[in-house]
Amino acid sequence: MSDEPQTSLPTTKVARAARFAKTGFNVGTNYIKHYAKKAVGSESTTEDLHAANAAELYGTLSEMKGSVLKVAQMLAMEKNMLPTAYAEQFAQAQYSTPPLSGPLVVKAFRDAFGKSPFQLFDEFEPEARQAASIGQVHFARKDGKALAVKVQYPGVADSIKSDIRLVKPIALRVMGLNEAQVRPYLEEVETRLLEETDYKLELRRGQEIAAKCQPLQHLEFPAYYPEFSTARILTMDWLPGQHLKEFLATNPSQEIRNQIGQAMWDFYQFQFNELHQLHADPHPGNFLMRAENGGTLGVLDFGCVKDVPQDVYELFKDLLAPETFADEARLEALLAQAGVLRATDAPAMRALYLRTMQASLELVGCPFRQATFDFGDPAYMAALYALGDDLMADPELRKQREPRGSEHFIYLNRTYVGLFALLTELGASIATGILV
């Protein structure tokens, strides 16, 4: 373990409160800047202020890189992005936790198995190879097999719960929302976050989904080892391959990138359409790519899995179907069903929502309406950016701070935002076909 001084480890309640207070402080500074600008007569609209506040909150909170953030902005018109940003913030807070010390890892094993990892495995690296969202991954070897052992930070589930209690009022205040409006969304996010801390559940889901995805080509799943796993320790195969960034640095051919992109696309379509259950965390760290067999994709981390209820599935599918896009009355009916449009909305408001939804569905649904789609096409991303900017700039829309739509859409959106971003970065051209 490193002996370097480690910064930012807000685990006690007080330390975390201080961290959030800092966000509050920065938001306060934004107000000061706003009034200062006003005082010197320069144009500083309240929108600027809100944008600055939101930026402060969203700030470094997501692992998403620039391009993804643009897409995220675009989807933010549904305001579902608030809870997702919220989720990302916790993820971020966990990412910045310093690595567990060797002795604590040993202790976690003693608690779980009554043995130290050095007794349990033939070989065990006390230094973590990488950080997982709420733990760290160690390399181990047993009977000649390379294994990845994920060890969870102690007390994570507890700190998630108290973080949520701490940040909720501040987040609501800053975003200008009241609790009743966002409760279903926050509950959805909390459930997912807490599920992620249960490695037993992750093991079961990983095994199930891997078994069901057997027919799919060019995909690879690690085998899990229940005998070396508990609620806090998860042991699986160490899959070969590289993460997206490193993989792209090796200059893979277009064919390989296409095949990997295709495997990823098929994997998600299969889960959504056949399993109604989604690996809802398409984060670059959860995929391993390699050039063997013309491109193979390894899928890790089933901590965040979204079960899609039948009615939500139908709704989502219908929204993306080509017929819907052409038929305004049908779109209106579907959006009302999804809770985006409400009977109490003023006609002008309704038209506004309808217009913006139509515009974004046209673009987002684009890959679904074509037989093949080139995610590497810069024009598509440019169009997404432009739409995102337009929506963010729309003064009418920005006044609508209240989130709308089914809470199930949070993770569906997150999944597709992540998937599109990965495919774009991969620059893959894919046979997308029409959503069945």
Taken in order 283, 284, 290, 294, is the CA torsion positive or negative? positive
Which positions from 6 to 45 touch another protein by CB under 8 A, shown as an x/- string?
x--x-xx---------------------------------
Q: 3-state class of 222 per DSSP?
A: coil
137's CB contacts (< 8 A; 6+ apart) are 128, 129, 130, 131, 148, 149, 150, 151
Asked if 330 interacts with another protein (CB under 8 A), we say no
Q: Are 77 and 356 within 8 A, CB to CB?
A: yes
Which positions from 161 to 200 touch another protein by CB under 8 A, shown as an x/- string?
----------------------------------------
- Judged by beta carbon, residue 6 or residue 253, the one nearer another protein is 6
Q: Are 83 and 185 within 8 A, CB to CB?
A: yes
Rule CB under 8 A: choose which of 49, 81, 100, 193 binds another protein: 100
- Judged by beta carbon, residue 158 or residue 187, the one nearer another protein is 158
Q: Are 351 and 338 within 8 A, CB to CB?
A: no
Number of alpha helices (DSSP H) and beta strands (DSSP E) in the chain: 18, 12
Shortest distance, CB of residue 190 to another protein, whole angstroms?
19
Q: Under rule CB under 8 A, which residues in 136-165 are in contact with another protein?
A: 153-155, 158
Rule CB under 8 A: choose which of 106, 172, 381, 383 binds another protein: 106
Residue 56 CB-half CA count within 13 A: 23
Minimal CA–CA distance to 225: which of 124, 146, 304? 146
Shortest distance, CB of residue 73 to another protein, whole angstroms?
36
Asked if 3 interacts with another protein (CB under 8 A), we say yes
Which listed range, 40-48, 68-76, 97-105, 171-179, lies at the site for another protein (CB under 8 A)?
97-105
CB atoms within 10 A of CB 32: 9
**What 8-state DSSP symbol labels residue 271?**
I
Rule CB under 8 A: choose which of 16, 19, 38, 107 binds another protein: 107
Rule CB under 8 A: choose which of 17, 38, 95, 98 binds another protein: 98
Pairing of strands 296-299, 219-220: parallel
Rule CB under 8 A: choose which of 26, 62, 116, 242 binds another protein: 116
Rule CB under 8 A: choose which of 8, 29, 118, 255 binds another protein: 118
In order, the DSSP letters of 12-50 are SHHHHHHHHHHHHHHHHHHHHHHHHHHHTT----HHHHH
Asked if 359 interacts with another protein (CB under 8 A), we say no
- Judged by beta carbon, residue 154 or residue 184, the one nearer another protein is 154
Pairing of strands 130-132, 135-142: antiparallel
- Judged by beta carbon, residue 11 or residue 26, the one nearer another protein is 11
List residues near another protein by CB under 8 A.
Answer: 1, 3, 5-6, 9, 11-12, 98, 100-104, 106-107, 110-111, 116, 118, 126, 153-155, 158
